[in-house]
Amino acid sequence: MIVLSLIAIGFGLSMDAFAAAVGKGLSNNKWKVDYALLIAFFFGLFQAGMPVLGWLVAGQFKEEISRFDHWLAFVLLVGIGLKMIVESRKPVVIETEKKNGFGEIIILSIATSIDALAAGITFSILDYDIVLAALIIGLITFFLSFLGVWTGYRFGCRCKKIAESLGGLILIAIGLKILIEHLFF
């Protein structure tokens, strides 16, 4: 059951990276596999690393927050989910100038993985295996980011908003599940 939750969380968290990858695909007028692999690698790497960082930080305060940890997990996941849904409602800005530098890829990798930092705090609270969580999230993000670059190149920005909304809804559902399980079971 935990693995299924981690897979669902992985899909939810990777939607920001997918949306950013779609944007990067939009800015290319030629399909480049090596470029898509580079984006997927860094998005996956940062998306896997941030939960580890959040898990390590939260581990320092675990005993102090154990009485309200289910509420904290609920608030974090629902907050991330709502943020993603709100951002999906903003107009899509298509880059007119090509920005494909390494520095921009790193900045996008960090920006799209900040939510995973908060998820790592949740993983610590729930005693999830952080190595398994990071591996699942990183791999899902890698594959979806690669697909996102291709989708952006091929189909344009239609998928970006849908992906962010869907990711937000998944995280909200998981937050509700955690709260309900803790309060009623």
Position 97 confidence tier, pLDDT thresholds 50, 70, 90? very low
Which of 78-87, 114-123, 167-176 ranks highest by mean pLDDT?
114-123
Annotate 68-104 with b (16+ C-beta within 10 A) or e (fewer): ebbebbbebbbebbebbbeebeeeeeeeeeeeeeeee
d(Cα 94, Cα 130) in Å, to the nearest integer? Answer: 36
pTM for this model (two decimals) = 0.74
- Which residue would you say has higher pLDDT here, 129 or 62? 129
Query: How many independent structural domains does the chain possess?
Result: 1
pLDDT of residue 33: 93
pLDDT of residue 158: 60
Mean pLDDT of 8-28: 84
pLDDT of residue 96: 43
Mean pLDDT of 122-150: 94
Q: Provide the domain limits for residue 45.
A: 2-184
Please, what is the average pLDDT of the chain?
Answer: 83
Q: Is the pLDDT of residue 99 over 60?
A: no
DSSP-assigned letter for residue 90: S
pLDDT of residue 143: 97
pLDDT of residue 162: 76
pLDDT digits (tens, 9 = 90+) for 35-91: 999 999 999 999 999 999 999 988 787 677 667 767 877 887 788 778 878 877 877
